[in-house]
Structure 1
Amino acid sequence: MRQSSQWILALTPAHGGWTPAQLAQRRAADAETIGSAVDAIGPGPVSWAVETAERITSRFRDDGEKLGVPTESTGFSRQGAEVGLLMALVAMAGESPLETIRISPAMPQLARIAVRQGMPVDALIHKAWASHAASQDEMLQMIGRLVEPQHQIAAIRAMSTAMFAHGNATVRALTDAYREERRQWDGKTRETRRRMIADLIRGGPAPADAEEILGLPLLGGHLFGLAFSATGRHVSQLEESVTSFARTAADLLGAARVIVVPHDAAVEMWWTFSSRQPPPESAALLRTAVRPPGVSISLGPAGIGIEGFRESYHGAYAAARVGRAAAADDVWGYDSVAHLSLLLQDRSAARRFVRHHLGPLLKPGGRTAEIRTTLRRYLETGNGRIAVAEELHIAASTVAYRVAQAEGMLGPGFRDRPVPILLALQLVELVPDIAS
């Protein structure tokens, strides 16, 4: 290996090396790609690539939220970023001639998944180049840290040349695989369903053969849900496990039909009911079902007819915003979290809101956390000291004391603004770092 590429072998995760078990748990790429990369450049650089791909994808997700663009997915984006970064490192370390750079078989597979999830080819290529550019920025930072100043120009030149060649090869492989899969997929029912759902959401009229193509009635009751990775990490065989869950859920809900449609932002589930609405306790019922590991479910409000379907669809995506922010495996019902979803549309505004209304209650430490929890439940129960005391296993006098402490910390206007204070407390409980 030339001196200009030696820095690759010194790469390691931020907090030290990972064990093989940690690498296996955190990877998004397939085991074959990971194993080949470990053989070529070692476990340290591979672990660094996995960690870096996760950080890049998280940054894309946060940027997308600010723009109102759903960028999170069932692991597709992070898997692509990770595979691309690993293959680039292996190519540079191996000093392969640029014209012979080989693309991992995982890349064409990602293109095929993109077709099945309804992602346009330009969006796929945009994601690939954005990930590629972010990876190059990360490598530049590492060159600055690991390479002696007199050798940095040579290292940067070698890296840039190799990354340009690798980026072009990646785009060719993705485009070719996408076009081939699209030719095979266009005639399939699932793509037809996806286009019809998109048309209905945009407010278009239902075609005469809509019910025949969708395989469900449009005039009855509707409940729309999303299944997505609770942490944003890759979930293997997600579509298959969600399909099984959706059918079990249909029995619990008393639904007549259910269809499952993969999507870049989640796997969509659409339950229909012949002549009535779903039960009002839908979220509670689905919590009793065995969900796929690492998967959260969001549910929109129940509705009747096409307009009710649209409301349920948009509500499910709003509830998913809360579930993703919490990064917790749960069932998120729109009726319970719609207010938090509105606040989380703008993370920066939400942070300002929390800091403004809670101020001293955001101090670190267990005592302050106890006061926040007690005050939140006190307000949620309509100032029910006894109920909160029983729930938290403390005396009613302790509840009163902690509420009084909160009032002293928040000032005399505390009781004039219980609603914004409660909303701020719920945000902190949901997303602890919202005030950081």
Structure 2
Amino acid sequence: MKWLDKLRPTGEPWSLQELMAVSASSPRLLVEAIEVLGMQPVAWVVETSAEINAAVDERERRRGFPTSQTGRSKRATERAFLMLLMSMRGGGSSYLSDGLPDELRSIVRADVRHGIALEVLMNRVWTVHSVAKETLTESVRAEVSPEELIDVLAAINEAAFDFANVFVRLVAASYEEEQRAWRRRRSGEQREIVERVIAGHEPPEACDATLPVLWGGLHLCGVAWLDETGHSEYIERELADFGARAAGLLDAVGVFVHESQGLTHFWWNFDAAAPWPDAGSLEHLERPPGVRLAVGSAGRGVDGFRESYHAAEQTATLRHWPTPYDVVIADDVAHLTMLLADPDAAWRFVRRELRALAGAETRIAEIRETVRLYLSGGNSRIAVAKALHLAPNTIAYRVGQAGELLGRSVGDRPTQVLLALQLVDLVPSLLAERPERLPASHPPARTNQRQHVPVDRLPLEAVLRGAGTGAGSLVGQRAANFAP
């Protein structure tokens, strides 16, 4: 491409000193560009890049995109234009064969840290490329003979297309990589603040930039983990998306997500005047496959945040047990997780209270479910009959059978019997004759060891995609409190 040698800046030829004084590129890139293109073609690129940058800003304004009136924008335009021409000289996208050069990666890194969206960045990349090619084409028309022009323009189009395809892919990949690194760093800073607050310290006064949370508002915490069926190459993104959709469903002002010891922690934050969040609504929100969730109790202020965090952590100990529920709410199971803290004692309690009602037969399982709903619903046969689609007399008959299996009336120790029934509903393995030590010998559900994504104030689209995945959720499968 000999026509490259004909590119010249306006006026007199530039000296190296003039070039170094005006250029937005590093001396290293300039030296390499001069070796490949020559002094004056490089001077033309430096001069023209400022004009391209102004033209791109104007196009972005007309299209409604945020403009990039920063030194980064000028540096990126000039450096990308230099590499385009160097690649044309070398053939194809040869100067991108080793990935995005540090000259441009540093600019992408700065854009990530300044919160520039990938959509905005990619729009600018394509616009700069388009304007640069138009400018180059017009300059070539003035320097190349009509006989050569068609072939030269075809060569420019082919080389520019090849370069753009590789360049755009590398910029997008670099953006995602830099974003992950930035999130990991911010995640560590956020986790340090959270751990100090959990330990009893007051939130730091100057933490808004790192952790912009309304400490005086309402808080709801959750803990997620993967069961044995869970696997996804994109689990980070899927968990971040779930946290954002949950924030929209709950009407939270923000959500923070971070990983700690193999578990993914969600923290939804609400205005102080917001209504109390309905944690149970999360049971019906679609989750990534294989993800199970423990949700704490909502709380107000710093103390409320601590309580919600601890409640979610305590509820998440159910990951050590084989439970049929995918979503568990602290308000529903807090009393049960306390009993399960001593597995042997919980097993003995179930055997002592249920006696023959702990049998494995299908008929006895039906009786257990009936009595659990009966006792939790205010002893209303009619309400339980409606819930199970049975006749009230059938409910009465099953309650009577339960008394025979217990060796006493169901009403003699209703609280203890109900607790035992709730335990075996949550952890059916407690019905075993003598289970192996639980949960010590029962391995926890597999967790994903990749770093999850901390999310700062994600857009709160309330996307509700129907029922959750897996075996169901606790409130969704239990009967509501029945009126007599």
Normalized against structure 2, the TM-score is what? 0.49
Answering whether residue 231 of structure 2 is matched by residue 241 of structure 1, we say no
Alpha-carbon separation, structure 2, partners of 1:287 and 1:203:
31
User: Do the aligned partners of residues 277 and 316 (structure 1) sit closer, same or farther apart at CA in structure 2, a change above 3 Å counting?
Assistant: farther
- After the TM superposition, list the runs of 4 or more consecutive aligned residues in structure 1 that deviate by more than 6 angstroms: 184-187
| 1:185 Cα offset (Å) | 8.3
SS of corresponding position for 2:201: coil
Q: Which residue is equivalent to 2:208? A: 211
Select which of 266, 272, 290 maps to 1:269: 266
Alpha-carbon separation, structure 1, partners of 2:213 and 2:264:
18
* 1:225–1:299 CA contact under 8 A, matched in 2: yes
* 1:250–1:271 CA contact under 8 A, matched in 2: yes
Select which of 218, 226, 233 maps to 1:229: 226
Answering whether residue 290 of structure 2 is matched by residue 294 of structure 1, we say yes
Q: Which residue is equivalent to 2:191? A: 194
Equivalent residue runs for 1:287-366 within 5 Å? 287-322=283-318, 324-328=320-324, 330-366=326-362
Answering whether residue 251 of structure 2 is matched by residue 254 of structure 1, we say yes
| 1:212 Cα offset (Å) | 2.5
User: Do the aligned partners of residues 214 and 280 (structure 1) sit closer, same or farther apart at CA in structure 2, a change above 3 Å counting?
Assistant: closer
Instruction: Report the count of equivalent residues.
Output: 252
Equivalent residue runs for 1:14-25 within 5 Å? none
* 2:224–2:291 CA contact under 8 A, matched in 1: yes
User: Do the aligned partners of residues 353 and 234 (structure 1) sit closer, same or farther apart at CA in structure 2, a change above 3 Å counting?
Assistant: farther
Q: Which residue is equivalent to 1:220? A: 217
Alpha-carbon separation, structure 2, partners of 1:187 and 1:300:
25
Equivalent residue runs for 1:353-432 within 5 Å? 353-412=349-408, 414-432=410-428
Alpha-carbon separation, structure 2, partners of 1:367 and 1:186:
53
SS of corresponding position for 2:237: helix
Alpha-carbon separation, structure 2, partners of 1:318 and 1:425:
21
Alpha-carbon separation, structure 2, partners of 1:322 and 1:240:
25
Normalized against structure 1, the TM-score is what? 0.54
| 1:418 Cα offset (Å) | 0.5
| 1:411 Cα offset (Å) | 2.1
User: Do the aligned partners of residues 378 and 236 (structure 1) sit closer, same or farther apart at CA in structure 2, a change above 3 Å counting?
Assistant: farther
Alpha-carbon separation, structure 2, partners of 1:344 and 1:235:
31
User: Do the aligned partners of residues 424 and 236 (structure 1) sit closer, same or farther apart at CA in structure 2, a change above 3 Å counting?
Assistant: farther
Alpha-carbon separation, structure 2, partners of 1:353 and 1:232:
32
Alpha-carbon separation, structure 2, partners of 1:280 and 1:235:
29
Alpha-carbon separation, structure 2, partners of 1:262 and 1:198:
12
Render the CA deviation track for 1:153-172: whole Å, top value 9, x for unaligned.
xxxxxxxxxxxxxxxxxxxx
Percentage of matched positions with identical amino acids: 41
Relative contact order, CA 8 A, sep 6+: which one is greater?
2
Structure 2 alignment gaps of length 5 or more = 1-180, 433-484
| 1:242 Cα offset (Å) | 0.9
User: Do the aligned partners of residues 336 and 236 (structure 1) sit closer, same or farther apart at CA in structure 2, a change above 3 Å counting?
Assistant: farther
Q: Which residue is equivalent to 1:164? A: none
Alpha-carbon separation, structure 1, partners of 2:184 and 2:263:
23
Alpha-carbon separation, structure 1, partners of 2:324 and 2:206:
40
Render the CA deviation track for 1:225-262: whole Å, top value 9, x for unaligned.
11212448655433221100110111111111111101
| 1:370 Cα offset (Å) | 1.2
- More displaced, 242-251 or 269-278? 269-278
Alpha-carbon separation, structure 2, partners of 1:322 and 1:340:
10
Bigger Rg, structure 1 or 2: 2
Alpha-carbon separation, structure 2, partners of 1:378 and 1:320:
28
* 1:250–1:256 CA contact under 8 A, matched in 2: yes
Structure 1 alignment gaps of length 5 or more = 1-183
* 2:231–2:289 CA contact under 8 A, matched in 1: no
SS of corresponding position for 1:290: coil
* 2:322–2:429 CA contact under 8 A, matched in 1: no
Alpha-carbon separation, structure 1, partners of 2:183 and 2:329:
34
Render the CA deviation track for 1:342-366: whole Å, top value 9, x for unaligned.
1111111110110010011112211
Alpha-carbon separation, structure 2, partners of 1:434 and 1:269:
30
Alpha-carbon separation, structure 2, partners of 1:384 and 1:230:
37
* 1:253–1:278 CA contact under 8 A, matched in 2: no
Answering whether residue 274 of structure 2 is matched by residue 282 of structure 1, we say no
Alpha-carbon separation, structure 1, partners of 2:292 and 2:275:
20
The residue type equivalent to 2:332 in the other structure is: S
Alpha-carbon separation, structure 2, partners of 1:308 and 1:398:
45
SS of corresponding position for 1:296: strand
User: Do the aligned partners of residues 419 and 231 (structure 1) sit closer, same or farther apart at CA in structure 2, a change above 3 Å counting?
Assistant: farther
SS of corresponding position for 1:270: strand
Render the CA deviation track for 1:112-168: whole Å, top value 9, x for unaligned.
xxxxxxxxxxxxxxxxxxxxxxxxxxxxxxxxxxxxxxxxxxxxxxxxxxxxxxxxx
Alpha-carbon separation, structure 1, partners of 2:251 and 2:227:
26
Alpha-carbon separation, structure 1, partners of 2:242 and 2:184:
27
Alpha-carbon separation, structure 2, partners of 1:419 and 1:339:
12
**Larger helix proportion, structure 1 or 2?**
1
Alpha-carbon separation, structure 2, partners of 1:376 and 1:236:
41
| 1:410 Cα offset (Å) | 1.0
* 1:230–1:324 CA contact under 8 A, matched in 2: no
| 1:384 Cα offset (Å) | 1.0
Alpha-carbon separation, structure 2, partners of 1:306 and 1:343:
28
User: Do the aligned partners of residues 396 and 286 (structure 1) sit closer, same or farther apart at CA in structure 2, a change above 3 Å counting?
Assistant: same
The residue type equivalent to 1:282 in the other structure is: A
The residue type equivalent to 1:420 in the other structure is: Q
SS of corresponding position for 1:272: strand
